[in-house]
A and B are shown apart, each in its own frame.
Chain A
Amino acid sequence: MESTEAQYVEGCSLTPIVTEQLWVEKYAPHSFTELLSDEHTNREVLLWLKQWDSCVFGSHIRGTSDDTLSALRRHSCTIQKNSSSRSFFSKSRGAYVMGQDSMPQKTPGSNSEDLKSTFHKKPSVDNAPEQKVLLLCGPAGLGKTTLAHVAAKHCGYHVVEINASDDRSASSIEPKILDVVQMNSIMSDSKPKCLVIDEIDGALGDGKGAVEVILKMINADKNNDSDRSNGAEETQVQKASSRKSHRTAKLLRPVICICNDLYAPALRKLRQVAKVHIFVQPTISRVVNRLKYICKKEGFKTSSIALSALADYTECDIRSCLNTLQFLNKKREALNISGFDSQVIGRKDMSKSILDVWKQVLQKKKLKRAEMADCNVSGDKDIGSLFSLISNRGDYDVTMDGIHENFLKLSYHDPMLHKTVKCLDVLGVSDYLTQYVYRTQHMSLQAYQPPIAITISRIVAQVEKPNIEWPKALQRCRTMLLEKKDTLKTWQNRMSPLISRHLSVESFVGDIASPFLHILSPLNLRPVALNLMSEREKNELVQLVDTMVAYSVTYKKTKFEPQERANGSIVPMDIPSLSFDPPINDIISFKDYQSEHIGLSLAMKQVLVHEVEKQKIIKDSAGKLLNQINEGVRSEVPTTTCQKTATGTACDTSQGSSKGKSSTLPMQLHSASSLSGKGLAPAKRPSSRPTDFFQSFRKERPGGAKTHIDAGQQGATVQRDLRPLIFKYNEGYTNAVKRPIRVRDLLL
């Protein structure tokens, strides 16, 4: 009893499954000619696949004679109705002829020639196409997967599909891909495989698995081109290698990747190496024809108007159309044009790219004549679709920025600017709303953002296509503002706190910057040596240097100073110019604005840099000096011995050529002796000094050290040496260390 009942139940549940095959599958195109997608794309894909032939099929390829072509053409007429003829394709390798058969009539020469040339070439070279991966992208339901399958079968491949439902971590996917791409099937029919990776952009997890593996193979391929020392680890090539010295390439089978979003970040690298085909919607009439055919077959009564409306509504998503029709058929309902919204057809929950959103907002849809009549209805529909579009996108902040960036460039008629005012007011409301939501976390209020965009759309949208730009300005403004504030803050930290406490960023920018720059570059300062200046000028200079030190401003070398360029004087590129070190003059440089501020001359700047440096050293050393003197006296004795040994060792290095010079330059001698030993060590530190100068300086020393130093002198020099001599070698100041003097003597 029970068993029969179970059987009965089983039978019941089984029957509908058998009868109700999905229409989508039932009527899926089985041959190339049945494809609904765009003819051009189909051909391109096929052509690409054909380019693999010489690589994959090797010597099996031969040119097609005209009679076979015509025979096939005859055959192709029947094939459309007769899906069983598909077996023919799988059997005969000559299926690729179909590709030539369906080549565009306009350019039969170039394409077929191209193909033939690849055919005629000996497969000794790797004849795989330039781009080894095909990337098909486009919205759902247009037949990307179908195309890939059909085209691959058409060319005599065995299709292996990896899609989102499979495990696709990098580790598990790699052997799989390698299997497909490099192994040969040992099955009886031994068709080469073609890999189709479906939905490569989605469900990739963190590893981006598939993309990485493919890229690796492509790269390996490229490397192989240069050196052919790659182990023959692939069994696949047996056939080829037996024939000729076929090189082992990594990627030996066509790979077709399918994605929805071409610009998904995971695909960035793949995009550069793959041949990309973007799917466009097939024409509505094509879709409707197919739908009609199917409906007729299934005995479902519809009108072509209803079908075309359906196709339009689903944006030519054939899968969705068929599913809907099948569902309605099952429910025994008729397709009703007006009731699409209430009917079963689900709208796809698709978020468009933000650029599309802006485009939709700023571009008015062209009204068709039929819709003109019921303008109100279509208007409502527009608002509805816009609303869902914007709210699906969600990113209101960026959306509004984009609208703000672009709406002024539209050519709307607005003599009194009422529309502009209205738009900006509304944008202001949106800004306030965002701020309020962030502060109070009432996220539900965000729902009022789309109507704001719709309002703007209603006010300014134009029929002509807007030239949408990404709202860079606002972002740039924000980052640069932060950057500048940061520079000012760090500058403030360098100043003495007694000054910086009164110098907030606001007050500096608002009040101080402009006068400060004027004060820093007095007009009547002459770039002459200090001793040539009048008393007043000296005073002014001292004041200026004092100010610069106090506010820790100095000049630094830059490659190029725009200010001088603007003034017309030509600055040679190799001579670096000096500009303010905290770039405070940036604060007053606006675009299209010529400031009254005139910078100092280069020579004057150099003088100032020098003076500022000097002042800083004086300040630093002032504190240290006292301690050092005390220490120096105490540790006199031990250092003398040190010095003696130091000079002794130094003598050996160079003795010969010192005599002649030592007589002519007694001053130098003196300095050399005083600097010997200890003095040399710190002097070695600066790296930018010319070597010749110091070599001559070194040669002087031994002679002097030997002959002229008596004990008393030595004591004096040692004491002097104890004060560490730190100097910076400046280009142009050759008299820097010719006399034994203290740095503070130099400075004062």
Chain B
Amino acid sequence: MLWVDKHRPKTLDKVIVHEQVAQNLKKFVAEQDCPHLLFYGPPGSGKKTLIMALIKQMFGAGVEKVKMENKTWKIDTGTRTFDLELAMLSSSHHVEMNPSDAGFQDRYVVQEVIKEMAKSRPIDAKGKRAFKVLVLNEVDKLSREAQHSLRRTMEKYSASCRLILCCNSSSKVTEAVRSRCLNVRVNAPTEDQIVQVLEFIGKKENLQLPFGFAARIAAQSNRNLRRAILFFETCKVQQYPFSANQVAPPLDWEQYVSEIATEILSEQSPKRLYSVRQKFYELLVNCIPPESILKKLLTELMKKLDSDLKHEVCHWAAHYEHKMRLGSKAIFHLEAFVAKFMSIYKEFLCAAFG
């Protein structure tokens, strides 16, 4: 097993990074009840880990006996009926699913599937926990309609069911849903916290960490705990004992984006733009989300940019990212940003050097 999974804290007591959050969550467990929860935070910050730990704390070891199933639901919309297949992970106490997998049919998932499950009250011999937990991932990718239908469900079946929503950005969750949940912000861990985690893992694995090594990996990880641990393991696999200035190999797609950035900076012409387009296609084909491409590209460009231009370029990056989210063909907007950047950069060069 990878260290990321191996050393994942299983209970709230063992959580290192978000101790304060874990403490608060523990209080819910103690009170034997909790409101609906909305976890939000950047990727690799530990949302999922916290949720799992919370559920385990609530129901005990029973939740670890999970099974994966692809269920087919018959949806009757009145005008037509169709089958909807959805993968879900369930134990006797909780169900995890990713409703946005259903694409534009996510509305029916919320209206039919979730309602169906929320209705049925779990039979518990002790009657201690009179509710079951539904974990919905990637709520921010749900369509507006689906989110609207979610709020009624949240109110109506709150007696028998608790929803735990998980997303990257709470801004894409509608106000109505947000106000019905207790929002739990899960920050990206600070570099110090990451160092702490890495040292903890090092101790568990019986490794000698040279001074400053953990800090370097933490800096490289961009405050993403998952990345940090993976980098750490990579280093271990590649060379152990660690050398003083060892760094983990960079992520391949990020490397590729930085190559694109150098290409853009070296020549600004429609022809170059065309070759950049092909590279964008390569990235998109490999499932890299266009938002991350744009973000990474911006940071790479920023490194080599005159400070006068930085503000303007950032402005345009934001502008085109906004457009990109509105539209559906990401390549148009990525390219538009590159063209805009080329234009700005070239004008600047001409003004500076005549």
Contact = CB atoms under 8 A, between A and B. Distances in A.
B339 to A, nearest CB: 5
A514 B256 CA distance: 12
Contact of B273 (A408, A485, A493, A501): A408
Interface in A500-559: 500-502, 504-507, 509-516, 518-519, 522-524, 540, 546-547, 550-551
Nearest to B222: A511
B343 A431 contact: no
A488 interface: yes
Given A477-B281, A477-B331, A511-B226, A586 B286 contact: yes
B336 to A, nearest CB: 4
Contact of A427 (B48, B87, B226, B332): B332
A380 interface: no
B343 A421 contact: yes
A421 B249 contact: no
Given A420-B343, A424-B339, A588 B252 contact: yes
Contact of B327 (A435, A473, A498): A435
A398 to B, nearest CB: 12
A474 interface: yes
B62 interface: no
Of B234, B251, B339, the most chain A CB neighbours within 10 A belong to B339
Interface string B280-294: 011111111100100
Interface residues of B, number: 77
B354 to A, nearest CB: 14
Nearest to B346: A416
Interface stretch (A255-263, A593-601, A650-658): A593-601
Nearest to B277: A408
Contacts of A540: 237
B54 interface: no
Contacts of A499: 1, 5
B238 A484 contact: no
A597 B278 contact: no
Given A414-B270, A515-B230, A428 B283 contact: no
B288 A408 contact: no
A597 B249 CA distance: 9
B2 interface: yes
Interface in A400-433: 401, 404, 408-409, 412, 414-418, 420-421, 424-425, 427-428, 431-432
A420 B5 contact: no
B323 A428 contact: yes
A499 B286 CA distance: 22
B331 to A, nearest CB: 7
A505 B252 contact: no
A481 B285 contact: yes
B333 interface: yes
Contacts of B248: 515, 518
Interface stretch (B64-72, B117-125, B180-188, B298-306): B64-72
B2 A428 contact: no
Interface in B1-16: 1-2, 4-5, 8
Interface of B: 1-2, 4-5, 8, 43-44, 48-49, 52, 64, 66-68, 70, 87, 89, 96, 98, 137-138, 224, 226-227, 230-231, 233-234, 237-239, 248-253, 255-256, 259, 268-271, 273-274, 277-279, 281-289, 292, 320, 323, 326-329, 331-333, 335-336, 339-340, 342-343, 346-347, 350
Q: Which 9 A-B pairs have the closest CB atoms?
A: A431-B327, A424-B336, A515-B230, A588-B252, A417-B343, A522-B237, A515-B234, A408-B274, A518-B234
